[in-house]
Chain A
């Protein structure tokens, strides 16, 4: 994974473009998921944020990966317009803060774990409450355990699906109590979509 990031600054652009386009393509589905157990704005909000990210990427050419992540995190914070903005924005910004200019796999693993902890603090949430943390934490653990991109992707998708039977105790879905059971958490799905896009690009090169 680090070799890929080292090989070319353009790889960061590609990863971000892939992740942004995956969310934009998935916007209607994300909205449908959010209409079931939330306020129904997750898809459009994330789409707005990712469109701002796409507009920002060309301005970041040649910058180190950490700087790129911080800049796109700021776009998400400013443009998403829901709690997802600060949450996904914090993930990107804190991830970026922890990366040296030529990150190794160990750097990426450590920085991602710190970023996930920052998301938990920002959202005052923990694993098992039917939030994006239910995907991010297993992914962080998989990175730490040395998982390949293919394995990380599988873990992310399985973790998102595993939110379906969970009763929400944090976020807007928690208002529904038992009625949140049987629906996938939209933030978990958008997290899984971003991770899938990145892992697809990295392929088995990790």
Chain B
């Protein structure tokens, strides 16, 4: 079984949709169920107005995270405005940082890992993104939850 990665049918391939201009949100959990459930909560809040992708599970699909799957999720949620990554525990953060380093040079500086709780952080980051905020503002808003 492979880690869960959704390939969202979002607005990225439809240039006329304003969602493509908004900061993308990536959800990374050790648990495929938490990743998917968190994405459901984000969608309920912001609909299709932000590019969104999630991944959970190690390369065998058990609890853990996969660098390759995180890279896939970042690509799936890619926006020229950048991507904010929300993570749960240690390995999710370390693997996300590794995944970012493997992304193409021109994208790397526009991907951030937010120091925020996963569920609340994802929902508030997506809400901020849906209003057209920059990556830095999206990140700061999510990280205010931790301060």
> Considering the chains assembled together, what is the distance between the CA atoms of A92 and B66 in angstroms?
18
Residues of B within 8 A of A82 (CB): 58, 64-65, 91, 95
Checking A41, A48, A122, A123 against B63 with a beta-carbon cut-off of 8 angstroms, the contacting residue is A41
Question: CB-nearest residue of chain B relative to A38?
Answer: B90
Residues of B within 8 A of A44 (CB): 62
> Considering the chains assembled together, what is the distance between the CA atoms of A122 and B97 in angstroms?
8
A48→B60 contact, CB < 8 A: yes
B66→A123 contact, CB < 8 A: no
A78→B68 contact, CB < 8 A: yes
From residue A127, how far is it (CB to closest CB) to chain B in Å? 18
B64→A81 contact, CB < 8 A: yes
Residues of B within 8 A of A85 (CB): 67, 91, 94-95, 98
A78→B67 contact, CB < 8 A: yes
Chain A contact-residue range equals 20 to 34
Q: Judge whether A63 is part of the interface by a CB distance below 8 angstroms.
A: no
Question: CB-nearest residue of chain A relative to B102?
Answer: A77
B59→A79 contact, CB < 8 A: yes
> Considering the chains assembled together, what is the distance between the CA atoms of A81 and B70 in angstroms?
11
Interface residues in A70-91 by Cβ distance below 8 A to B read 77-87, 89-90
- Interchain pairs with CB closer than 8 A, number: 59
B59→A86 contact, CB < 8 A: no
Question: CB-nearest residue of chain A relative to B93?
Answer: A83
A171→B90 contact, CB < 8 A: yes
Q: Judge whether B89 is part of the interface by a CB distance below 8 angstroms.
A: yes
B65→A87 contact, CB < 8 A: no
Instruction: State the main secondary structure of chain A at its contact with B.
Output: helix
A83→B63 contact, CB < 8 A: no
Residue interface bits A80-111, CB-to-B below 8 A is 1, else 0: 11111111011000000000000000000000
> Considering the chains assembled together, what is the distance between the CA atoms of A39 and B65 in angstroms?
13
Using A77-B98, A89-B98, A122-B97 as known contacts, say yes or no to A83 and B90 having CB atoms under 8 A apart.
Answer: yes
Q: Judge whether A172 is part of the interface by a CB distance below 8 angstroms.
A: yes
Residue interface bits B90-109, CB-to-A below 8 A is 1, else 0: 11001101100000000000
B90→A86 contact, CB < 8 A: no
Checking A79, A89, A172 against B90 with a beta-carbon cut-off of 8 angstroms, the contacting residue is A172
Residues of B within 8 A of A123 (CB): 94
B90→A81 contact, CB < 8 A: no
A77→B67 contact, CB < 8 A: yes
From residue B2, how far is it (CB to closest CB) to chain A in Å? 11
Q: A81-B58, A83-B91, A86-B94 are in contact. List 16 more A-B contacts (CB 8 A).
A: A41-B62, A41-B63, A41-B64, A48-B58, A48-B59, A77-B98, A78-B66, A78-B68, A79-B59, A80-B58, A81-B65, A85-B67, A86-B98, A122-B98, A123-B94, A171-B90
A–B pairs, 18, beta carbons within 8 Å = A41-B63, A44-B62, A78-B67, A79-B59, A80-B58, A81-B59, A81-B65, A81-B66, A82-B91, A85-B67, A85-B94, A85-B95, A85-B98, A86-B95, A87-B94, A89-B98, A122-B98, A172-B90
B: residues with CB less than 8 A from A are 58-60, 62-68, 89-91, 94-95, 97-98
Chain A to chain B: the 7 pairs with minimum beta-carbon distance, closest first? A81-B58, A83-B91, A81-B64, A86-B98, A83-B94, A82-B91, A86-B94
